[in-house]
Structures are given as C-alpha cells and as structure tokens.
Structure 1
Amino acid sequence: MAIFWFATVAIVLFSCFIVAIPLMKSNSKGDRALRDELNKAFYKDRLGELSKEAEAGLVVDQQELVSDLKQSLLDDIPASQNGSKGSGFSPKAILALSMLFVIVASYGIYMSVGGLKQVQDWQQVTARLPELSKKLMTESSQPMTEQELKDLSLALRTRLYYQPDDAMGWLLLGKIGIANRDANTAVEAMERAYKMNSASPTIQLGYAQALMMSQDEQDHEKARGLLEGLVRQGYANLQVLSLIAFDAFENQQYTRAIEYWQQMQRLVTPEDARYSMLERSIALAQKQLSGSKVVHGVSVPVKVSLAKGVSVNPNSVLIVSVHTADGSPMPVAAARYPATKFPVSIVLDDSNSMIQGRKISDLKDLIVKARIDSDGNVSTKKGDWYGESEVVKLGQPINILIDKQFK
C-alpha cells in the first residue's frame, strides 16, 4: 500500500511540474523592457516623419503633434511604472494556486471514482489469507460462509498471480471450487497442484474429490485410481473411505459400499453422530442388495442438486422428506444420505414412512423437501441449506435445487 501512495505522489508532483513550467518561463520584466524599446523606436520614427512633413509644408502645428505623440507614449506606460498600485496576482501566487488546484483535483477525483475502498478491501482480504486458509483446511462443524469463500478465493488468486508455483495455494483454490460446487475451477486448480506435487496424499485426495464432481466417466476412473492408491499407501481416512463407498453405491456395487462403510464405522465411536449415519447407509445398501423393489407409481424419484455458492461440510448429511400437498411440516416419509456428492438421485417409497398407518402410496399429490444438516441435530436448522419442490403428482420425477439457507 505504501508503494501505491508513493506512486500517486510522484505522478501528482510530475503533473505540478508540467503546470509550473509555463509560469516559471514567463518574465514580466523582460516583457516590459521589450515594450519600452518598441515604444521608443516608434516615437523616434514618428518624430522623423513629422520633421519631414514640416519641411514639406504638410504640417501646420508641428509642436502640437509632438505633444500628442508624447502623450500617447505616456499612456502606454503600465500603471505600476507610473507609481500606481498594481491589482494583479504575482507570478509566485499564481504558481502556488495552480499547484494546489492540481493536487486537490487529482486526489479529489481519485477519492470519488478511483476505487479506493475496493483497494483497501482487497488489501484487508489478502492479509486474512492465513486465517481463512486454516479454517478451510480444518474440518470444523461450522462451514465457511459464502463471503468467506469469496474473500479466500480473491486472496488466493492474488497470491497465485505472484507465486504460480505454490502447490498448496492451488490446493486451497481447488477446495474452494469443491465447496462452491464449481467443477471446472476445482479440477483445474487441483490438477495444477497435482502436477507440482503428485506425491502428496492431501493433494491426491483433493484431486480425486474434484474429479468425482466431473461429468466425464474417465475422470471418475482416474479418481478411483487415486483413492485406491491412497488406501494401498495406508492413507485410508474417513474422507477417502467415504468417497470410495459413495462411488460404489452410485455404481450399484452395494457389497463394496457396505465393506467401506463398515471400515468407517471402525474408525469412529458409537457415540459419534456419523456412526448412526453409517448404519443407515449400510442398511440402505443391504436393502438394495437384497433386491427389494419399489412398486411402480408409488415411489418418489428425486434428483437433488446444489446451487453455486452452497458450501457443504464433509460431515453433513442430506435429509430428503415427503410432505402432504398442504405443506405440513410433519413428513410422511424421510431418509438420510451422506452429503458427499451432488447432484444425487434417490428414490423414496413406503419403506421410508415416518407415520404409522400413513404411506407414500396413500398420497395423490405431495411436496418434497431436501435439507443439508450440518450439525447432526435435526431440530436445529440455523445455517442449514435447503430447497423444496412444487406440488407434484405421486410418481412424477422431481428435481430439487438447494439454494436457500435458514437464518
């Protein structure tokens, strides 16, 4: 910031110098001397002409004409030379006022249209880079806000502009892309980080997570290879196992999904909220594995997507619920799923009923709601993201965009 202000001072001083040059070059005394010399020459020349005219008999009263010529010469002398007080500003005063005007006008215009506030905000955000980076890398129960993600992205892009070989910087930018569901930014940033440091397990995991967001099956295959490589190297943490399990479930490899979810259960205690979530995931996979079928026309197929800018904590769960058409808050049926991959397609049926004696198949019209629970407590909603459908017919495919947040 000091360099910026120094540069502005240098530019303004240069402008003042340009304005001052014409004023410094002006020489009023020289101008007066030149005028006097011209007047004397004119006077002498006119006297000579009068003498010639008098000799030729063309002038009747030569003395009167000489008196008029002297008076004309006297009238051309400035008042300051005749002892009268001058009324104009001195050259130094004009110079000082001109330079003051340049300085005031330059900084005044910049303050109003020069984006000073934006520059100051940018400097403040850049200074917060370590703090925001730490919060992003720490698995906290409180996800980063949309504004914090924007600030961190700006600070990172500034740093990467000057340090393009910073692998950790690209990793963080990729994580922001993942949090914002921006697949292009996530994949491009993680790929650059991976090329710089392909041996880092953290970068391998981030790259795999970004590739899982892609719509290209080749990217998914590459992600699976990275994740399996991490398992072979002994880096099978909860996030690695969760990505593998969910990918297996999505590809109807239910036995494999159950195996990895059970591994995750062994890494957490029964008191952990994630333990019960894993139990439900395993039960859902076992149900699919047993070949239980939903009856055509009484199931609710739902596709849930996230709006751009929605941030999801890795430990969050997706709650999808079916409600009566009048919007009653008490769901007829509901189910929980890991909030690890979006968009996600699910199907609810009578086995997901919440009210005894009340089934989805009893409904003709319904509303479906989707919510990301970030703290494991269904009764608390503050900070959770959600979305819901319009009133639809039973059996009609439903698309829900999660784009609102409880205040």
Structure 2
Amino acid sequence: MIIFWILAGGLLALALWFILPPLLRRETPTEAPDQDALNLAVFEQRLKELEDDRTATLIDEESYLAARHDLERELLYDVDETKTQATQRPASAASRWLLAAILATAVPASAVLLYLTVGDPGIIDQIELGPNQVAEHESGAETQSAASLEELVGRLEERLKQDPENLDGWLMLGRTYFATDQFDKGLGAFEKAYSLAPDEIPVMLAYAEALAAASPTKSLAGKPAELIRAALEKDPQDPTARWLNGMIAFQDNRFQEAADAWQKILDTLEPGSEEAKNLGQMVTEARNRAAGQTQPTTSETAPAPATQSTATDETSAQETSVLPAASLKVEVSLDPTIAAQAAPEDSVFVFARATQGPPMPLAVQRIQVKDLPASVTLDDSQAMSPALKLSSVSQVSVGARISKSGDATPRPGDLQGTSGPVAVGETSEVSVVIDSVRP
C-alpha cells in the first residue's frame, strides 16, 4: 500500500512539473518600446502620404489639417494603450502566482478525492494477498451479496406494504422468491398481482407458471391450464401462452399436438439462437414420442416410390433421432460448522436447475444426511417434466438442500448449498458444499 502511494505521489509531482513552470516563467518587458516604435513609424508613413496628396492638390488645406489631426489623435491613443499594458504587468504576474498556488493544491487534492470516490482501494490489499486468501475474500463477498439480496427483498416488502397496489412490485417480488426457492412466498406474491390485474395476459401467465411450479407434481393441469387458455383467447399469438399450451398437451401425452404448437413458435425465432436450439430439441422430443405412440399397420408400411425413398429416409432419421443424454456427477458434502443442525435421517435433495428458464428442477435425487459425503449422478432419466431435461439446456446451477420437513418445498431453516453455473456437456463433475441456513 505504501509503494502505491509513493508512485501516486510521483505521478502527481510530474503533472505539476508540466503545469507550474510555464505559468511562473517571467516575461521580459520588451513589447512596449517595440510597439511604440511601430506606432510612430506608421504615423510618419501616413503623414508623408497625406502631405504628398496636399502637394499634388488632391486635397485642400482644410482636409489636410483635419486628417493630420486624426492621425495625431490615433498616435496618442496607441501610445497611451501601450503604457497601460506595461503598468498592468506586475498585477498579471501576481495573478499567475496565485493561480499556481491554487493549482498546486487543487490538482493533488482532486486526484486523491476522485480515486477514493471512483477507485477501489481494497484491490491493492487483494493483490498483496495470496491466491487462497483472495478466494476466502471472494467467498465472503458472495455471502455479503446474498445478504444484500435479502435486504433488497426486505425493502421491497416494506414498499409494498406502503403501496399494496404496485403491480410491478408484486411481480418482481414473486420472481425473486421463486429464484431463491421460496415457492410459497412467491406464489402468494403472484396471487396478489393476479388479484390486482386478473385480465392482463403477462400476469395471468406468470400466475399460471407459479401455480405449476409450486405444486408437488409441477403439472399445468387445472387452474394453470384455465389461465393459459384464457390468455390465448385474449391474444392467440402470444408466444408464452402458445408455449405453455404446448406444454399442457405434452404433459397430457398429446405429443403431436405439442410438437405442432412449438413448431409454429420455432418458425418465428432466429435460426441458430440458443432459444431456437432449446425449443427445437423439445419439438424433436415431442415428435419422437408421437411416433412411438403410433404403430403403423402392414398397409401403412408399404414401400414408397423409388423417387421418394431418399426424402423419406431423411425425414424418418430426423423424427427418430433422440436427444443426446446428459449427466452430471455431483460430490455433495456438509460443512462441519453447521453439521450439528442436521439429523442423520433428514432428507437431502440434490438437483440441477436451468440458469435461464422455468424454475422447476431438471433432475432431482434424494438421499439422507447419514449418506454424506456422497457422490450423486443427475441425468435425463430424473427429469420432473419429459420436455425439460438436462440435455435440453446448455447451462445449469447445481444445488443440495437438507429438508427438515422431508418434502421438496424449501422452507426457512433448511440447510443448503449451490454451485456456480455449469456447462452441460462440457462439465461432468461438480462439487456442492451445504454451508448455509435458509432464512
């Protein structure tokens, strides 16, 4: 830290060396005599021209006298002005000294103040620390960030108590609760938003998704389906409502109908985008399942004409292709500092959730605290919804939670731990340490 301030002081001194010497350099008073001589030479030249004009009778005596009087007056004015400038020089030098003193104080002070305001003095300490110590500091920063999120949620709750008609606030609070696995609170926030605007399509669909995510089966049947169909009646082209309607069909084993609904949305997306890729995988999965439901008869399997065989083979290959399997090996452990808060028979839910997309887990396994530390494999076979698997997304976050109640719904007091974003297909192993208590 001392070396940094020494270097900073040297740079400030260098900056002042460029500013102050030119400002304090003394000027030699040679301008006034030269200017007087120039003014006199100009006067004599013009006077000679005026006399030549009078000799050549180009002007009369009266005009000559008037013009000469004007020249003499201008000469006196120029000489007086030069004297005035000469007498002002001492005052100008004093001003330069005053300005130099101000700059010598203001430049270092403003530089230090700007650094303390905009800069990050703590980074110097991090550079001086070793890699392990930096990691410990970053871990503490993550904990502080989580605390800050809880503080922001608390402020939003207080604001909604003062302004309970704030629709956007309730929607934001609901999404935040679901993002932090507080499904019961999140559902309550969405219910409040729906009571404020039961006819707005985004609110209807958000409430439908919340109802499904908070239910044990994660199903859209019942009230969620009613809300989705009502939204489609209001706007048949709403993409979210169409996607959810396709999900209803998929969960109801109407796979071809789901594929058709999703394909219409896929046709409107930018080819090659991540969203188009994920939805295309869902369309393929739905078509594969629809093909498995239909067993063609002998007459239906008659050979196609030779001219169509190639196209038929290509279509068949596309429709019978399956999504690539994906799996993650998760090493789960319990932090000894909080191990006393868990009983050996408590349930441990190990799950993977998409970093972007629906909040429902893509794969879940259940073990017990007495099994820890344990190695758990998450794969497509554990998907809670057939259309949402590990292989259907590119990035997930992996977590583990000790449930005091024994059910999958997170509750205050549960012990939990999460990993950062994990690339599906590129990462085969990830470690999760249960090291915090759910508020």
TM-score (norm 2): 0.37
Q: Which has the higher helix share?
A: 2
Provide the TM-score with structure 1 as the length reference. Answer: 0.40
